[in-house]
Amino acid sequence: MTIPPNKSRERIDTFLAREMARYSRSQIQTLIKAEKVRVDGRTVRSNYIVRPLECVTIEVPKPREHDLEPENIPLDIVFEDDYLIVLNKPAGMVVHPAHGHSSGTLVNALLYHCSRLSSMHDTTRPGIVHRLDKDTSGLLLAVKDDEVHRGLARQFSDKTVNREYKAIVWRHFKNRSGTIETMLARSTRDRKIFTVAADGKHAVTHYQVLEQFDFLSFVSLKLETGRTHQIRVHLSHMGHPVFGDQTYGGRGRQLGGLNHERTAFTNMLLEALPRQALHAQTLGFLHPVTGEHLFFTSELPDDMQFVLDALRKKKAEWQGDKA
């Protein structure tokens, strides 16, 4: 394509993302990094400023066929139409294949269930718009069409998707509600985990305390951004790691300050909950095709409900002892 003669200053990735509506800005940036975009025959970077009458050539490779195997894994489907699917992901299920998880994932199950899935991401993540950690349960959205995928990805980027989580966390909060705002980045010591770091990506989590127990709290959390492990890192950073979270300090290391009775009670709860007590409970968004506002909610899974019921019962017993 030729840059219009009256074109104002603009980055090439922004310009192409608007002119090539089928592709997202991140896809354009990937093409630029792969040297598939040239200006007057020269490769450029994403921040290159286009100039009037320049000739831009874009080489778009054909989509690769994925080599993932469909697997007949049951899905807890909440909603489905010709364009998208909303489902309840159980704790323990990996969303898409990665190192150490080549099968048994949500993607393998979706490939068996759906005749088509969007191809916006690499071949290991067909249909995936957003993710949940392996041991986080709850509502997750997948899409069947690239245009729908782009529309939903834009809503996530614009922070208009309603996502609310429920969690059981350690200790009481100083304030009953608040906002956690930091920068998050991969740990330099362990690339599998994330940490608060000045050179990271902006992350914002809003919290509200729903109930307080002897040494735990039940909280509601709303995501403003969606960084990897965001809730778990933010809560750990505040000194309130998610109950049962082995990676971010929510398991054994918190037992030190408890007496014998409370230690035995907590160990019983941890045995009943072999994962972090985090559940994606609500999901709301605008359907990119029908324009309908969709809102879904998911009940707490049995393991978290068991812990919550046990905490409520024990709280009443301990309050009765004090009286």
Catalytic residues: 133
Sign, CA torsion 80/163/289/121: negative
Give all strands (DSSP E) within the chain, no chain letters: 37-39, 42-43, 56-58, 76-80, 84-89, 137-143, 162-170, 177-186, 194-196, 201-212, 216-223, 278-286, 293-297
Amino acid at 180: I
Q: CA-to-CA distance for 7 and 316, rounded, in angstroms?
A: 70
In the chain, the N- to C-terminal Cα span, in Å, equals 79
CA distances from residue 172 to 208, 215, 216, 257 in whole angstroms, order as listed: 12, 7, 6, 14
- Residue 83 phi/psi, 5° resolution? -115, -30
Pick from 294, 45, 26: nearest CA to 154: 26
Q: How many CB atoms sit inside 10 A of residue 193's CB?
A: 14
- Residue at token pair 């998880």: 101
CA distances from residue 7 to 3, 42, 100, 283 in whole angstroms, order as listed: 7, 20, 49, 41
Q: CA-to-CA distance for 248 and 304, rounded, in angstroms?
A: 18
